[in-house]
Amino acid sequence: MQVRRLAGALGAEIHGVDLSKEPPVAAIRDAFLEHQVIFFRDQALTPAQFMAFARGMGEPVEYPFVKGIEGFPEVIEVKKLEHERHNFGGIWHSDTAYLEIPPMGSLLLAREVPPFGGDTLFASQTLAYESLSEGMRRLLDGLVAVNSSAKADVTRTREDRVKEQQASSQNYEAEHPVIRTHPETGRKALYVNFAHTVRFKGMTEEESAPLLGFLFEHQVKPEFTCRFQWRVGSLALWDNRCTQHNPVNDYHGHRRVMHRITLAGERPR
């Protein structure tokens, strides 16, 4: 197994591993914790093989709002068809931060890719936190963020639109620390995101807006990011506790079909 860093901030490609067999789970998990998002190439996995690898990385859970593929309720299809203009989660975000217990991470496997475009950006929230001034870190350390699935339409991710299409009237809201500590590495990370964070607890949206606006811009600076170009059989595993991601919506008129598995997490602290 060879691990090749993709960028200075985060991300690594892992080579020499066939995930359909018996991959070195412990070594892969070490790389995952070190690099925050890891990538594999040329993995022609069946849904059962995909699930088997996911179980080695964590506990697969069903994704809210989206029904799984036949026979595998934890595997959802993430697709944008030729006629569609919106993609799934096409904005910088941490997955479902409006849940009381958001996911630990996600795996995404490319089934069909467009002839160009459709890359995914990732941003390290530990590096974003560590790059803040000491004074700003002190200010943020005691703050709690209110995250909602009902944030304004302009920030709706595609999973929110799917929820609406299913006629669900329920809105999810959760309060999480602005700075969370990774339960395995002990590193601190920013835990607000443009798609779902509405305000700080005990403050109005208007009062919260200036500081949140600064954080939203700061946490996705180019020097905190990496970019991944998909091919059929590419697989990504990202740590939702310390990263954000943004699938670039630049391939109108073409299909992009992925399979995704979400891994159970823990309450942010």
Q: What is the pLDDT of residues 11-50, one digit of tens each?
A: 999 999 999 999 999 999 999 999 999 999 999 999 999 9
- State residue 119's pLDDT score: 97
- State residue 5's pLDDT score: 98
Residue 95 bears catalytic tag: yes
* Residue of 93, 158, 187, 199 with catalytic role: 93
Spatial separation of the C-alpha atoms in residues 77 and 258, rounded to whole Å: 6
pLDDT mean over 261-265: 97
- State residue 89's pLDDT score: 78
Contacts of 69 (CB under 8 A, 6+ apart): 47, 75, 76, 77, 259
Where b means 16+ CB within 10 Å and e means fewer, 231-246 reads eeebbbbbbbbbbbbb
Among 86-90, 94-98, 153-157, 213-217, the range scoring the smallest mean pLDDT is 153-157
Residue 259 bears catalytic tag: no
Q: Crossing angle of helices 25-35/47-57, nearest 10°? A: 70
Give the chain's mean pLDDT: 93
For 229, other C-beta atoms within 10 Å of its C-beta total 12
Q: Which two tokens stand for residue 77?
A: 């299809």
Spatial separation of the C-alpha atoms in residues 142 and 19, rounded to whole Å: 42
As a whole number of Å, the CA-based R_g of the chain is 18
Among 49-63, 76-90, 246-260, the range scoring the smallest mean pLDDT is 76-90
For the whole prediction, is pTM greater than 0.75?
Answer: yes
Per-residue confidence at 155, pLDDT binned at 50, 70, 90? very low
- State residue 79's pLDDT score: 92
* Residue of 199, 245, 256, 259 with catalytic role: 245
pLDDT mean over 148-155: 66
For 171, other C-beta atoms within 10 Å of its C-beta total 12
pLDDT mean over 131-136: 98
Helix, strand, coil share of the chain (percent; to 5): 25, 30, 45
Thinking of the domain 2-263, which architecture would CATH place it in? 4-Layer Sandwich (3.60)
Does residue 258 contact residue 154 with C-beta atoms inside 8 Å?
Answer: no
